[in-house]
Amino acid sequence: MRVGSGLQRAQRFMMLATGLYRASHLTAGFVAVLRRASGEVAPWAVFGGILAFSVWLYGNAYARGWFDRRWVWADVLVTGCAVPLLVALASGGRTGGGWLPGGADVAQYGWLFLLGGSVSAAAGVALAPRPAAGAVLLLLGTTLAAYLWVIGPPGAPGSANVGHLNSVVSSAVMARVFWWYLRRQGTQLDEAKERALTAEAARARQAERIAHHRALHDTVLATLTTIAAGRVDANAAQVRERCAREAAYLRRLIQREDAPESTGAEAAEVAVGAALEEAVRSAECLGLKVTAQYHALPPVPRPVATALAAAVSEALNNVRCHAGTGEAFLTAVGAGGGVSVTVVDRGAGFDPAVPVGAASDGSGTGLRRSIHARLAEIGGRSEVDSAPGEGTSVELRWPA
């Protein structure tokens, strides 16, 4: 059982509840002995023995995490049955003459009958249903026999005894019901946690796959598409350099271990201008001329810089592949701790009213996944403004 699980919390609560119930009865016993037999040794000896056993019972339970059934049975047989019977017999019963002080005056030891309730509560929680029912019957028989021996007359139990009998039964029943409910809730909580962890792991794997798909779409696929279309010389030094970088990326992707990355590295702030410039150089390797301007760019968290650079890379890929022009303009400025990046071309443009993913130029998937989704994930936003024959403007803002 995992530490801190719902089931363990339910067990801890029931041990605490039954322990407090026992403590209330012991407190009543202490007050009774102090008031009626403060100068006598026997009542204090009985109280001290039961107190020591109770401390051991609950201390052992807390150390183990739950009750030991053997000690619960010992509690039933000793605290709930043997001690009250022995005290009743030693008191001399209705005729007096017993070897314990007090004779037929049960007031000195009446608090022992209270313990039947807390003993039955512990048994109702720790034992299986049938053994718990047997323990309750033993406690009922002991209480009734001791009462009739001390008080009598036979066959005429008084209201106090009826109250003790009711306490034994009701304590066991209520404790059992509470334990059933709390155990059920704790188990359901643990199952819900397991489902949430499984779902979170699945979402993490899906997010990782999407991230790799985006990266492959924006890098390797874009490079291969450009080379296949004959738009660049595959033997050119810049193209070969880009192919080498992307081959290294694929190699790392295949060989990457499943260990999570350092959160400290992800949270570190970096210069966003360097990340954007890398995206610009990558596009220029495939023959696109990019005029870039940067002004007062603040440092941003690494995930933000990575997402902005990847979105810019996709915007430049779209210019190169779909705009029908070999030139693009990039402007990146900082304001109020945020960043605004604009990529503009004077190419063919397209109709933004066409549903995303249905654009005839094939740009829908890249806009949706590599630009809009990336900016949304980092708390930013993106806007695309275009019209047929009027070129295209892509604006990226962080934060939104």
Give the pLDDT confidence of 304-330 residue by residue, as tens digits.
998 999 899 889 988 988 888 989 999
* Contact partners, residue 352, CB within 8 Å, separation at least 6: 384, 385, 386, 387
pLDDT band at 393 (very low <50, low <70, confident <90, very high): very high
- The separation between the first and the last C-alpha atoms of the chain, rounded to the nearest angstrom, is 45
CB 120 within 8 A of CB 140: no
CB 54 within 8 A of CB 30: no
CB 22 within 8 A of CB 59: no
Q: Residue 252 above 70 pLDDT?
A: no
The pLDDT of 129-133, averaged and rounded, is 93
Phi, psi (deg, nearest 5) at residue 334: -110, 145
Neighbours of 105 (CB within 10 A): 14
Q: Residue 394 above 90 pLDDT?
A: yes
Q: What is the CA radius of gyration of the chain?
A: 40
CB 350 within 8 A of CB 363: yes
Task: Please give the Cα distance from 245 to 285 (Å, whole number).
Answer: 12
Name which residue leads in pLDDT, 208 or 80. 80
Token pair 């779209």 is found at 318
- Of the chain, the percentage scoring pLDDT greater than 70 comes to 80
The pLDDT of 65-93, averaged and rounded, is 86
pLDDT band at 266 (very low <50, low <70, confident <90, very high): very low
Phi, psi (deg, nearest 5) at residue 231: -80, -20
Q: Given strand 381-386, what is the order of strands in its sheet?
A: 289-295, 327-335, 338-345, 392-398, 381-386
pLDDT band at 129 (very low <50, low <70, confident <90, very high): very high
- State the number of CA atoms in the 13 A half-sphere of 348 facing the CB: 12
pLDDT band at 238 (very low <50, low <70, confident <90, very high): confident
pTM, 2 dp:
0.53
Give the pLDDT confidence of 13-55 residue by residue, as tens digits.
999 999 999 999 999 889 888 887 667 788 888 889 999 999 9
Phi, psi (deg, nearest 5) at residue 330: -120, 130
Q: Which two tokens stand for residue 205?
A: 């794997």
CB 302 within 8 A of CB 265: yes
Helices (H), 157-271: 159-216, 222-228, 237-255, 263-267
Q: Residue 103 above 60 pLDDT?
A: no
pLDDT at 92: 60
pLDDT at 101: 47
Give the pLDDT confidence of 359-389 residue by residue, as tens digits.
444 445 667 777 888 899 899 999 999 999 9
Q: Residue 71 above 90 pLDDT?
A: yes
pLDDT at 37: 67
pLDDT at 260: 43
Name which residue leads in pLDDT, 165 or 107. 165
pLDDT at 38: 67
Q: Residue 234 above 70 pLDDT?
A: yes
Task: Please give the Cα distance from 28 to 35 (Å, whole number).
Answer: 11
Is the previous residue joined to 399 through a cis bond, with omega within 30 degrees of 0?
yes
State CA 237 to chain mean position distance.
52
Highest mean pLDDT among 192-206, 209-223, 288-302: 288-302
Name which residue leads in pLDDT, 27 or 247. 27
Token pair 């001290």 is found at 48
Q: What CATH class does 268-400 carry?
A: alpha beta
Q: Residue 100 above 70 pLDDT?
A: no
Strand boundaries in the chain, DSSP class E:
269-271, 289-295, 299-301, 327-335, 338-345, 381-386, 392-398
Give the pLDDT confidence of 216-232 residue by residue, as tens digits.
766 777 777 777 777 77
Is the previous residue joined to 157 through a cis bond, with omega within 30 degrees of 0?
no
- Of the chain, the percentage scoring pLDDT greater than 90 comes to 32
Neighbours of 106 (CB within 10 A): 21
pLDDT band at 161 (very low <50, low <70, confident <90, very high): low
The pLDDT of 193-200, averaged and rounded, is 82
Task: Please give the Cα distance from 171 to 110 (Å, whole number).
Answer: 18
Question: What is the residue extent of each domain of the chain?
Answer: 6-193, 268-400
Token pair 């979105």 is found at 311
Residue-averaged pLDDT of the chain: 80
Give the pLDDT confidence of 287-300 residue by residue, as tens digits.
788 888 888 888 89
